[in-house]
Amino acid sequence: MATAALTYYTPEEYLALERNAEFKSEYIDGRIVAMTGASAPHAFICANVVGELRARLRSGPCRAFVNDIRVQIGDGRRYTYPDIVAYCGEASYRDGVLDTLTNPVLILEVLSPTTEAYDRGEKFQHYRTIESLREYVLVAQDKPLVERYVRHGEFWTLSTIRALDAEVELTSVGCAIPLREIYENVEFPAATERGAEAG
C-alpha cells in the first residue's frame, strides 16, 4: 500500500511561511503542525490569567503575552505558541523580528483532552531545555487545579493548588494569582454529572 510522503521544512522555511500565514502552526522537528481552536473555558482562563498578569506586572520588569507569540525551543528544531508566556528584563527575539521569543521565564498551558498528555510529557521535556525558563504551569479547565513546576538548577519541583480560595505563586515574575480569578466565568461540570458518566 502506498503512503503519502511527508514534507519536511527547515526552521528558516517554517518561519518564512508562518510569518505570512493566515492561521498559526507549530514546528516540530521539520514538520509543520496546524493549531486547532479552543473551547470557551480555555479562552476564559487565558484571558483571565493574562489580565491578572498585566495588572500585577504593570510597574515591574516582566511582561506577558497570550497565545500569539512563538517561542523558540533550543536550537530551533521546535517552535510553539504557549497559551501564556512571560519574560523579564529585555526580551530576546530570533532574527530581530518581534514575533519569536527566545528567553521566556514563565510558560503556562491550559490543559485540554487532546493536548494534556503532550503538555505534560513531550512538550514539557522540550520546554525544560530552554535555559531561561524558571516556571511551567498547567491549568485544568474542567476543575480547579493548577500544577506549578519550578526549576532548581537541574531539577524541577511540583506544587499542586486545588482550592478556589488559594493562590498560585509565580515566583519567576514576582506575583501571585488567586484561583478564583483564574477561573472567573468558567463553569465546571457538576459532580453528579461526572459521577453519572463514570457509572
Q: What is the pTM of this model?
A: 0.90
Contact call for residues 173 and 53 (beta carbons, < 8 A): yes
pLDDT of 191 strictly over 90: no
Convert the pLDDT of each residue in 72-99 to its tens digit. Answer: 998 888 999 999 999 999 999 998 889 9
- Copy the grid coordinates of residue 55: 495588572
Q: Which three cell numbers stand for residue 25?
A: 502552526
Contact 136, 149 (CB under 8 A): yes
Q: What Å distances lie between residue 198 and 2, 191, 193, 194, 195, CA to CA?
A: 42, 11, 9, 6, 5
Q: Residue 193 — pLDDT band, cuts 50, 70, 90?
A: very low
- For residue 40, give the C-alpha cell: 470557551
Does the structural domain 38-187 have CATH classification 3.90.1570.10? yes
pLDDT digits (tens, 9 = 90+) for 105-160: 999 999 998 889 999 999 999 999 999 999 999 999 999 999 999 999 989 999 99
Domain ranges of the chain: 38-187
135-139/106-110 β-pairing: parallel
Would you state the pLDDT for residue 194?
A: 45
* Average pLDDT score over the chain: 90
Q: Please give the grid coordinates belonging to residue 63.
A: 511582561
